[in-house]
Amino acid sequence: MHMSDALVSPGVGGAMWAASAGLAAWSARRLREEMTDARVQLMGVLGAFVFAAQMVNFAIPGTGSSGHLAGGLLLAILLGPHAAFLAMFSILTVQALFFADGGLLALGCNAFNLGFWPCFVVYPLVFRRMVGDKPGRGRLTFAAVLAGAIGLQLGAFGVVLQTLFSGISELPFGTFALLMQPIHLAIGIVEGLVTAALLAFVWKARPELVLPSATGPVARPTSMRPVLVAFAALALVTGGLFSWFASTRPDGLEWSSAGTCGREEPAVLQDRWHRLCAGIQEWTAFLPGYDFKSSTTDGEPVAAAAAGTPEAAREPEESGAPHPAVSSGTSLSGVVGGAIVLALIAMVGLGLRLRGRAEQAGG
């Protein structure tokens, strides 16, 4: 559900950038006095895992479409909403800058759709209320599935509204919404099931991570090594190996766009802001489309070639070529991207912790 710049106008992109940046600043302020070494470590490892998980698309049977784990709900449950939003913003920034996955102009939209709804709406109003204070595994699973589905529905509808306000005439509201909502309902149910499976492991290892105090941040356990090691290993294996097995069918957004206007995304708007953002991605994206430039761009601009799933990457599945699509470029993207996300989140977390200490010392 990563929006490309072709789906947003400069006005909408700028407004959503302001909204998401404001949420990030507010979240950072709330976390200054709550940041601990354990939370920084957990933020980094979970961020690396979600980055890798978003590379692995799964096919939606009978539709010709695919989806992937969004991860916002998982982050919110295990980190709390404010830390989760900062982690998601970091993940999306790395994807846009270094892998041309999602547009730079649309980054604020993507952060809002994939971060705001699960972190600040679905987690507190759906998941926490359904789980209560003494949940069983069944209640956790049902709450995760329902919350995952609702979160994806809200995010998908956000995409539809943002294209509407951007004046993208190729994607009329009614037709686009009628395609976006059902396909993302299916993706959201899978999102909830995967989240529930991961929570089952964490619940057994560190239940206090799943059910923090309702009145404040959880006192993190002195050792979270089993959880940290498990998610670090999952991030490494998912990004480096499981990414070969990703479905090459268009994702829910591309599929909905193709069903609406006949193309996986409308024609790119040609104004200075779109050209500027495309130029920046051309310069910064060293593995566009999660592969080496020579194998994904074929002479085309990086930002255009990497918007959605590259056509070159779709050829194996559609032509009957061997699957999985073993690719050193994809493996490198998964490992290096996860490491960049981990490092970025760690720097953000450590910076907030130092700022909090300084304020406490000065106060």
CATH of the domain at 173: 1.10.1760.20
Residue 334 lies inside a defined structural domain of this protein:
yes
Q: Is the pTM of this model over 0.85?
A: yes
Summarised one tens digit per residue, pLDDT across range 9-61 is: 999 999 999 999 999 999 999 998 788 888 899 999 999 999 999 999 999 99
Confidence (pLDDT) at 316: 46
- Alpha helix positions (H), 2-125: 10-31, 37-53, 72-79, 81-99, 107-111
Distance CA 212, CA 215 (A): 9
Residues 45 and 339 sit within 8 Å (Cβ to Cβ): no
Mean pLDDT confidence for 203-222: 65
Summarised one tens digit per residue, pLDDT across range 231-243 is: 999 999 999 999 9
- Percentage of the chain modeled with pLDDT above 90: 73
Residue 225 lies inside a defined structural domain of this protein:
no
- The domain containing residue 80 runs over which residues? 5-213+230-362
Residue 224 lies inside a defined structural domain of this protein:
no
Mean pLDDT confidence for 205-224: 64
Say if residue 283's pLDDT is above 50: yes
Summarised one tens digit per residue, pLDDT across range 292-310 is: 986 544 444 555 444 444 4
Mean pLDDT of the chain, nearest integer:
89
Residue 186 lies inside a defined structural domain of this protein:
yes
Residue 218 lies inside a defined structural domain of this protein:
no
Say if residue 252's pLDDT is above 70: yes
Residue 223 lies inside a defined structural domain of this protein:
no
Residue 258 lies inside a defined structural domain of this protein:
yes
Say if residue 67's pLDDT is above 70: yes
Residue 271 CA: distances (Å) to CA of 100, 205, 278, 281, 343: 19, 52, 11, 16, 34
| Total number of domains constituting the chain | 1
What pairs with residue 59 in β-bridges?
66
Say if residue 137's pLDDT is above 50: yes
Reduce the DSSP state of residue 66 to 3 states and report it. strand
Summarised one tens digit per residue, pLDDT across range 153-211 is: 999 999 999 999 999 999 999 999 999 999 999 999 999 999 999 999 999 888 888 88
Summarised one tens digit per residue, pLDDT across range 319-350 is: 445 567 788 999 999 999 999 999 999 999 98
Mean pLDDT confidence for 132-143: 86
DSSP structural state of residue 120: I
Residue 155: other Cβ atoms inside 10 A: 26
Residue 358: other Cβ atoms inside 10 A: 11
Distance CA 240, CA 108 (A): 28
Residue 309 lies inside a defined structural domain of this protein:
yes
